Amino acid sequence: MAWRGFDLSMSFYGEGDVDRFNGIRQQFEGMGGAGANYWTTTLDRWTPQNPNTSIPRAVVGNPANNGRFSDRFVESAAFFRLNTWQLGYTIPDALLGKVNYAVSSLRLYVGGQNNLYFFQWSGIDPVNDAYPLPEPSTWA
């Protein structure tokens, strides 16, 4: 898309109606050992005062194996992201000729990759939540 010397290009990517097992959530909500770090969601675990929750009660030694594979760690992995974008401006020939006769054209631009990401996944990245590491966000 171009207008008065400006141009814009964008590429979007997404997936819908996708459920995945969240292994990172299993690890950090599983309450598998003493002294480990857990997500703050484990504060919403089962207690007599909080009987309506999806997180089991915390028990020393974890005899119930709260981190076992179960569908409580399956969640929506649907997402929508701005994959790549670039906004540019081409200097008009008339202006460029007045400044420098050696340059025939000049375009300035900014752009990026994976800068906008919309998802409900509780982990880092619904596409890839483990190794290799999720795709970085870049600006240029």
Q: What is the pLDDT of residues 98-135, one digit of tens each?
A: 776 777 788 999 999 988 889 998 877 887 766 666 66
pLDDT value of position 68: 81
What tokens does 1 get? 């898309």
pLDDT value of position 109: 95
Which of 61 and 86 is assigned the larger pLDDT?
Answer: 86
Neighbours of 75 (CB within 10 A): 18
Residue 33 has pLDDT above 70, yes or no: no
Can you tell me whether residue 69 is helix, strand or coil? Answer: coil
pLDDT value of position 24: 83
**Are residues 40 and 31 in contact, defined by beta-carbon separation less than 8 angstroms?**
no
pLDDT value of position 35: 63
pLDDT value of position 84: 93
Mean pLDDT for the chain overall = 83
Alpha carbon separation from 38 to 5, 27, 93, 129, 130 (Å, rounded): 52, 8, 60, 17, 17
**Which of 20-29, 53-62, 63-72, 106-115 shows the highest mean pLDDT?**
106-115
